Amino acid sequence: MKQGSIGVTTENIFPVIKKFLYSDHEIFLRELVANAVDATQKIKALADSGEFKGELGNLTIHIEADSDAKTLKIIDNGLGMTEEEVDKYINQIAFSSAGEFLEKYKDQLSSIIGHFGLGFYSAFMVSKKVEIDTLSWKEGAEAVSWTCDGNPEYEMGKGSRTTRGTTITLYLDDEEAEFAQRGKVEQLLRKYCKFMPVAIAFGKKQEWKDGKYVDTEEDNIINDVEPLWTKNPKDIKDEDYLKFYNYLYPGSEEPLFYIHLNVDYPFHLTGILYFPKIKDRIDVHTDKIQLYCNQMFVTDSVKNIVPEFLTLLHGVIDSPDIPLNVSRSYLQSDANVKKISGYITKKVADRLEDIFKNDREQFEKKWDNLKLFIEYGMLTDEKFCERAMKFFLLKNCDDKFFPIEDYTKAIETLQKDKDGRLVYLYATDRTEQYRHIEAAKNKGYDVLLMDCPLDPHFVGLLENKLENSNFARVDSDIIDNLIRKEDREKPKLSDNETDELSIIFNKVMPEGSHYLVNADNLGENGEPVAITQSEFMRRYRDMASIGGGMNFYGELPETYNITVNLENPLVKKMLEEKQERCGNELADLDSRIAESEKAEKARKEAEKANAQSSTDEDKEADKAAENVTELRGRRKDILEKFAEEDTLLHQIAGLALLSNGMLKGKALADFIRNSYEVVGKAFTK
């Protein structure tokens, strides 16, 4: 019997590795099965090349768990090892490289361990003793046994295997005994080995007999050695793709489309990506793509390997060229990873463009569930954005779809303003903005529907991409102002008249917001009062609420524009009532204010001319200054009293608020009660 010490650099490496790798210790099974797969593929290759002339036999890998003995066996019929090979590959290479690895990465171990198998050595994460029993394919080879009990010391001697291949036996730590439980082992095999390229049997298939489950003769094969992505797309039907999707994500909704990836140069990559239905939430199931390396499961977190928006997709990517033995931050700058990420982005764009061109009907039908994904991609990936400008669909309020270029052509003649800028009108809610949409349509304009959570950002992106264009929400101003055709004559009001309007309308608006009141001539049939919120203000508030970090705008009070149509008969009547009720008083105050102001101005000029003015003059001027503030206050009181009492003003302002959904609570109750009174007076005389 031969004894020796394994060439690790750190004497007490076993406790270290157990502690560090605790969270990921289950990967040991993947590593050992992967070695068995390697050994099996190697013997096949030797047979193919003619070097091995014997019988290959059944190459199935067997996993055996014994929960009573707390042992787990991985048995292959691969090429086996001779004594020298065990010494070389296990004692020297496997162990010493694990030691070096630990030395090198001890600081960042936990972040990279999921991506880097420690190979054979990982068996010690869960075992107190590991045994190898192996018989090489080589002629005249003898079975070798190797045992190590968790100290860096091993024993080698005569093995007991009589057939070619290797049996690895793990004597599990007491606290790791679950790895000998049927259910646990099955779960791990499904997670890590489901698509490995050699058949793996875990016990026998069971059947229900005489009131209990009993083993049958048939091996319980847990993997699919030829998963769909390894096959030629020409031989695969649509339903095969859907079946595979269902196998990967049991119970999921049917995906919209799929893409079969297949590239040999300049890197190897295969896989199938699926577009899931995404409607509302941006954080839906990222991390659904599974990454494989030669059909061996590596991770289901592909961040840093594909662009962020693609993590919304589902499916599998298999590539031996993604470096898995390096830390995550390094991945992003890796040239191969960049190429791979670029390739996948291009493939996704190709596929979407292909459906757009060749099956527009299907594309439109699925658009609502696809849009958020595409917008997310366009907003975050410049290359994808360039491509997607060609197949992005704009949808209008009548549910008609247009590629961006076609839409621009369609609105070009009517929706250019006097300065030659093209105005894209949009609504975010067909019901709430119904009146504004109708007003725009009556002018012959078209209104887009932008009701997706990313649209506030996306509108900004389109404005950048489309030259000399801007987007305006239909309710952000009266329609004639949204697309200004020529400089319209605005009513010429004196400062006093403008101020009066502002005071009386501010009085009847809900508190807590700012109102900018302006007068306009919008025709006899135009609405008396329109309440709008400027595109600029609203956009920044929207951004802040999405979490764009622009909280400054989020905290500003709401500001609305109130447009009073002086040509509307109700407005005219209301202003007449004002004139009747307080016209004389106001005229008197106005002229006194004007006089006082004149006096004050004269005083100031005199002061400038002669710094030493008489005290008499000073007194006069002070009186004038006091008067102005006081007089203005009185004027405001008179106007506010009128505003409070005038039923007509309350009704037209109330209707404007109501049509914008801005009447709530007491204000709404008051408005309804007053309306009944008005209607009552009109009909019960």
CB of 352 to ligand ADP, least distance (A): 39
CB of 35 to Mg ion, least distance (A): 4
Q: What is the distance in angstroms between the CA of the first residue and the CA of the last residue of the chain?
A: 120
User: From Mg ion, ligand ADP, none, which one binds at residue 36 (CB under 5 to 8 Å depending on kind)?
Assistant: ligand ADP
CB of 32 to ligand ADP, least distance (A): 7
Which range binds ligand ADP by CB under 6 A, 86-94, 192-200, 459-467, 468-476?
86-94
User: From ligand ADP, Mg ion, none, which one binds at residue 78 (CB under 5 to 8 Å depending on kind)?
Assistant: ligand ADP
Measured from each CB, the residue nearest to ligand ADP is 119
User: From ligand ADP, Mg ion, none, which one binds at residue 476 (CB under 5 to 8 Å depending on kind)?
Assistant: none
Rank residues 143 and 439 by Cβ distance to ligand ADP and give the closer one: 143
In the sheet where 296-299 sits, what is the strand order? 257-263, 269-275, 314-318, 288-293, 296-299
Q: Which of 78, 307, 377, 528 binds ligand ADP (CB under 6 A)?
A: 78
- Residue 159 in the binding site for ligand ADP (CB under 6 A): no
| Partners of 473 in beta bridges | 426
CB of 41 to Mg ion, least distance (A): 12
CB of 119 to Mg ion, least distance (A): 4
Rank residues 81 and 355 by Cβ distance to ligand ADP and give the closer one: 81
CB of 346 to ligand ADP, least distance (A): 33
Per residue, the 3-state secondary structure of 194-256, as one string, reads CCCCCCEEEEEEEEEECCEEEEEEEEEECCCCCCHHHCCHHHCCHHHHHHHHHHHCCCCCCCC
CB of 387 to Mg ion, least distance (A): 40
Is the Cβ–Cβ distance between 576 and 569 less than 8 Å?
Answer: no
Q: Which two tokens stand for residue 604?
A: 């100031």
Is the Cβ–Cβ distance between 129 and 155 less than 8 Å?
Answer: no
Q: Name the helix (H) or strand (E) containing 577.
A: helix 569-609
Residue for token pair 């004038």: 624
Site for ligand ADP in 90-129 (CB under 6 A): 90, 94, 119-121
CB of 55 to ligand ADP, least distance (A): 18
Rank residues 165 and 227 by Cβ distance to ligand ADP and give the closer one: 165
The CA-based angle 645-650-654, given to 5 degrees, is 160
User: From Mg ion, ligand ADP, none, which one binds at residue 76 (CB under 5 to 8 Å depending on kind)?
Assistant: ligand ADP
CB of 428 to ligand ADP, least distance (A): 56
- Residue 167 in the binding site for ligand ADP (CB under 6 A): no
User: From ligand ADP, Mg ion, none, which one binds at residue 311 (CB under 5 to 8 Å depending on kind)?
Assistant: none
User: From Mg ion, ligand ADP, none, which one binds at residue 81 (CB under 5 to 8 Å depending on kind)?
Assistant: ligand ADP
Give the torsion sign (CA, 62, 66, 67, 72).
negative
| Partners of 530 in beta bridges | 563
Is the Cβ–Cβ distance between 377 and 407 less than 8 Å?
Answer: no
- Residue 176 in the binding site for ligand ADP (CB under 6 A): no
Rank residues 324 and 466 by Cβ distance to ligand ADP and give the closer one: 324
Letters for 428-467 (x = contact with ligand ADP by CB under 6 A, - = none) are: ----------------------------------------
Is the Cβ–Cβ distance between 513 and 524 less than 8 Å?
Answer: no
Which range binds ligand ADP by CB under 6 A, 19-27, 35-43, 238-246, 480-488?
35-43
Q: Which two tokens stand for residue 462?
A: 């389109």
Binding region for Mg ion (CB under 5 A): 35, 119
In the chain, the amino acid numbered 667 is: A
Which range binds ligand ADP by CB under 6 A, 30-38, 142-150, 298-306, 613-621?
30-38
Which range binds ligand ADP by CB under 6 A, 7-15, 87-95, 148-156, 474-482?
87-95
Give the torsion sign (CA, 248, 251, 253, 254).
positive
- Residue 35 in the binding site for ligand ADP (CB under 6 A): yes
Is the Cβ–Cβ distance between 298 and 277 less than 8 Å?
Answer: no
Nearest to 182 by CA among 68, 40, 259, 44: 68
Give the number of residues in contact with ligand ADP, rule: CB under 6 A. Answer: 15
Burial of 44: CB neighbours in 10 Å, binned 0-12, 13-18, 19+: middle
- Residue 81 in the binding site for ligand ADP (CB under 6 A): yes
Rank residues 134 and 319 by Cβ distance to ligand ADP and give the closer one: 134
CB of 58 to ligand ADP, least distance (A): 16
Is the Cβ–Cβ distance between 99 and 9 less than 8 Å?
Answer: yes
The CA-based angle 99-105-110, given to 5 degrees, is 110
Rank residues 28 and 376 by Cβ distance to ligand ADP and give the closer one: 28
CB of 34 to Mg ion, least distance (A): 5
- Residue 39 in the binding site for ligand ADP (CB under 6 A): yes
Q: Which of 71, 145, 166, 433 binds ligand ADP (CB under 6 A)?
A: 166
CB of 29 to ligand ADP, least distance (A): 12
CA atoms of 438 and 444, how far apart (whole Å): 10
Is the Cβ–Cβ distance between 533 and 656 less than 8 Å?
Answer: no
Is the Cβ–Cβ distance between 226 and 240 less than 8 Å?
Answer: no
- Residue 36 in the binding site for ligand ADP (CB under 6 A): yes
Rank residues 143 and 575 by Cβ distance to ligand ADP and give the closer one: 143
How far is the CA of 528 from the CAs of 478, 491, 535, 568, 640, in angstroms?
12, 14, 22, 5, 20
- Residue 307 in the binding site for ligand ADP (CB under 6 A): no
Which range binds ligand ADP by CB under 6 A, 89-97, 225-233, 321-329, 576-584?
89-97
- Residues near 666 by beta carbon (within 8 Å), at least 6 away in sequence: none
Nearest to 642 by CA among 573, 551, 575: 575
Strands (E), 477-557: 514-520, 529-532
Neighbours of 433 (CB within 10 A): 22
- Residues near 227 by beta carbon (within 8 Å), at least 6 away in sequence: 195, 244, 295, 316
CB of 372 to Mg ion, least distance (A): 41
CB of 173 to Mg ion, least distance (A): 21
Q: By CB under 6 A, name the binding residues for ligand ADP.
A: 31, 35-36, 39, 76, 78-79, 81, 89-90, 94, 119-121, 166
